[in-house]
Every structure is written in structure tokens, then in C-alpha cells.
Amino acid sequence: MLTKFIGWPELIVFLVLILLIFGVGRISKVAGEIGEGIRAFKDGLSGDKQKSKDESDVAEEQSDQEIPKSN
């Protein structure tokens, strides 16, 4: 329903108004913060997998240090 009222000209006017209100520096800062938030969210979702990998790596390193290799 809403797509009937919003076309390309309206979208361009909206973006120009946002640019005038906030400025280029502020928009790039907000976009960077949004990107960091999305990245943190993705890392949080895959954190369980990464955590188990990290734990297995630590266990391997500890076992390598405990058992001396004989030649």
C-alpha cells in the first residue's frame, strides 16, 4: 500500500533532507555504528561455534605442552 505513495522522486527528496539535517560526517558515523552492531550481532549468533573452537584449540595447546615429544 505504501509503495503506491513513495516513488523515486520522493525517496530522493527524503534522502536530500536527511543529508541536509544531519550532514555527511554524522551519517557516515551512524552508518559505521550500524555496521559494527550488525557485525557484533552476527558474531553473537556464531559465538557458540567460535567458543567451542577456541576451547578445543586451548585444549590442544595444553596437551601439546604437557607431553614432551621424544625423538
The answer to the question of residue 13 being in a domain is no
Tell me if 71 is assigned to some domain.
Answer: no
In a domain, 34, yes or no: yes
Closest by CA position to 14, among listed 58, 22, 25 = 22
Hey, what's the cell of 52? 567451542
Q: What pLDDT, in 10s, does the model give residues 3-20?
A: 677 888 999 999 999 899
pLDDT tens-digit series, residues 27-65: 889 999 999 999 999 999 887 665 656 666 666 666 655
27 near 19, Cβ under 8 Å?
Answer: yes
- Does some domain include residue 33? yes
Considering the domain boundaries, does residue 40 fall inside one? yes
Is residue 67 included in any domain, yes or no? no
**pTM of the model as a whole:** 0.45
**What is the three-class DSSP state of 36?**
helix
Phi, psi of 18 (to 5 degrees): -60, -40
